[in-house]
A and B are shown apart, each in its own frame.
Chain A
Amino acid sequence: MDQKTMPSARLAPLTKDDLPELKAELDAAEKRMGFIPNSLLIMGRRPKMVKGFQALSASVWDPEGKVPMAFKRLLAHVASRSAGCQYCLAHTGEGAIKLGVEQRKLDAVWDYQHSSLYTPAERSALDVAVAAGCVPNAVTDEMFLELRKHWTEEQIVEIVGLIALFGFLNRWNDTMATPLEDEPAHFGETHLAKHGWTIGKHAR
């Protein structure tokens, strides 16, 4: 008898072996993250889309960017929280720690407006990320004035590009109910659950 009570995935992740034409892209993702995300293995059914997405993702996470990489994970994290995507919350939380964000700083991200671990520059960008992740979009001209005090126009494009990339990912993963991989699932249980995170529909 089948004991499984969970519903099956909306669209199952394929395997790397199913997708020989995407070997380079999937290897690159595995190298960067330590595993191949199920989001890409689901998308594999349209190989050109995976290639386009990986190009966009690489440009947003460009190591030559002018906004610190670890901080960008925190921006992605709060934008994903506004949009309610638990899959992306776990990925970005774990990613932030891997890139060297201290655990106590990640814990304090739920209170970045008051925490002394965050600078005024960081707060101005996090404010935009939170507001941009809402529907309807809650970003204001005043938030941009504040951003301009701390960031160049090029950095603002980098910041909003990152927030928008997670506009893609939040919708993709919350719509597909992408199954969360073991590593970020463990991270979520250990570090995010105390703030109300649950794996929900991504536990499949």
Chain B
Amino acid sequence: MDQRTKPSPRLAPLPQETTPDLKDQFELMKRNLGFIPNSLLIMQRRPKMAKAFAQMTAAIWDPEATVDRRLKRLIAHVSSRAAGCQYCMAHTAGGALHFGVEDKKLADVWNYQTSPLYSPAERAALDLAVAASCVPNAATDEMFAEMRKYWTEDEIVEIVGVIALFGFLNRWNDTMATPLEDEPIAVGEKFLAPHGWSVGKHAR
């Protein structure tokens, strides 16, 4: 008898062998993340889309860019929280730790506006990320004036690019109810659950 009571995924992740053409991208992800995200394993049904999406994310996380990639993971994290995507919250928290954000700084991201661990420049970017991820969009001219005090125009594009990339990912993963992988589940249970995070529909 099938004891499983959970509903099946909306669209199952396919095995990585499904698209030999994506081997290079998958290997890169395994190196960077330790696993291939189910979001891409679902997307494989349109190989061109999966390939182009990998190119887009590589551009956003460009190692030659000037905004610190640790801050970019935190920007993605608060953005995903504002949009309510538990899958992306766990991934971005794991990514932040992976790139060297300290545990206590990650724990304080729920309190970045007053925590001494966050600089005024970081607060300006995180404020924009939260506002930009609400519906309706709550970004204001005043937030941009604040951004300009600390960031160049190029860096503002880089920061809003991260926020917008998670506009794609929050919608994709929350719509697909993408099953969360073991590693980010462990991060979520340890670091995010005390703040109200739960795996929800991504536990499949």
Give the B-binding residues of A (Cβ under 8 A).
7, 10-11, 42-43, 45-46, 48-49, 51-53, 55-56, 58-60, 62, 65, 82-85, 128, 131-137, 139, 141, 144, 153-154, 156-158, 160-161, 163-172, 174-177
With A49-B59, A52-B56, A175-B137: A164-B168 Cβ-Cβ less than 8 Å? yes
- Is B99 close to A, CB under 8 A? no
Among the listed stretches B21-29, B43-51, B102-110, B187-195, which one makes contact with chain A, having 4 or more residues with CB under 8 Å of it?
A: B43-51
The reply on B203 being an interface residue by CB < 8 A is: no
CB of B169 closer than 8 Å to a CB of A = yes
A52 pairs with B135, CB closer than 8 A: no
Report whether B83 and A59 are in contact in the complex, using a CB–CB cutoff of 8 Å: no
Q: Is the CB of A137 within 8 A of B174?
A: yes
**8 intermolecular pairs with C-beta atoms under 8 Å apart:** A49-B60, A49-B157, A56-B49, A59-B49, A132-B174, A171-B137, A175-B128, A175-B132
B183 within 8 A of A: no
Q: Is B133 an interface residue (CB 8 A)?
A: yes
Instruction: Specify which of A62, A84, A156 lies most central, judged by the most chain B CB atoms within 10 Å of its CB.
Output: A156
Docked pose: A82 CA to B40 CA in angstroms: 25
Contact B161 A161 (CB under 8 A): no
**CA of A165 to CA of B176, assembled, Å:** 14
In the bound complex, do residue B174 and residue A175 qualify as a contact, i.e. CB atoms below 8 Å apart? no
**Chain B positions 57-93 with a Cβ under 8 Å from a chain A Cβ:** 57-60, 62, 65, 82-85
In this complex, what residue of A is CB-closest to B59?
A: A52
B36 in the interface (beta carbon within 8 A): no
Q: What would 11 more interface pairs be, CB under 8 Å, given A52-B56, A84-B136, A174-B139? A: A58-B52, A60-B49, A132-B175, A141-B10, A144-B10, A153-B45, A157-B42, A161-B46, A164-B171, A169-B167, A175-B132
Give which listed residue, B55, B57, B169, contacts A164 with CB less than 8 A.
Answer: B169
Q: Is the CB of B139 within 8 A of A175?
A: yes
Considering the chains assembled together, what is the distance between the CA atoms of A142 and B194 in angstroms? Answer: 31
Write the nearest CB–CB distance from A85 to chain B, whole angstroms. Answer: 7
| A164 adjacent to B56 (CB under 8 Å) | no
List CB contacts (< 8 Å) of B160-204 with chain A: 160-161, 163-172, 174-177
Chain B residues, CB < 8 A from A157 = 11, 42-43, 45-46, 49
Closest 9 pairs (CB-CB, A-B): A52-B59, A171-B167, A167-B171, A174-B137, A137-B174, A59-B52, A52-B56, A136-B84, A167-B167
Q: Are A161 and B167 in contact (CB under 8 A)?
A: no
Rounded to whole angstroms, the CA-CA distance of A180 and B51 in the bound complex is 30
Taking the closest CB of chain B, its distance from the CB of A151, in whole angstroms, is: 11
Residue from B65, B136, B167 within 8 A of A168 (CB atoms):
B167
Could you say which residues of chain A place their CB within 8 Å of the CB of B176? 160
* Inter-subunit contact B171/A49 (CB<8 Å): no
Residues of A with C-beta under 8 A to B171: 132-133, 137, 160, 163-164, 166-167
Cα–Cα, bound, A130→B165 (Å)? 20
Residue among A49, A60, A139, A169 with the highest chain B CB neighbour number at 10 A: A49
Q: How far apart sit A10 and B145, CA to CA, in the bound complex (Å)?
A: 8
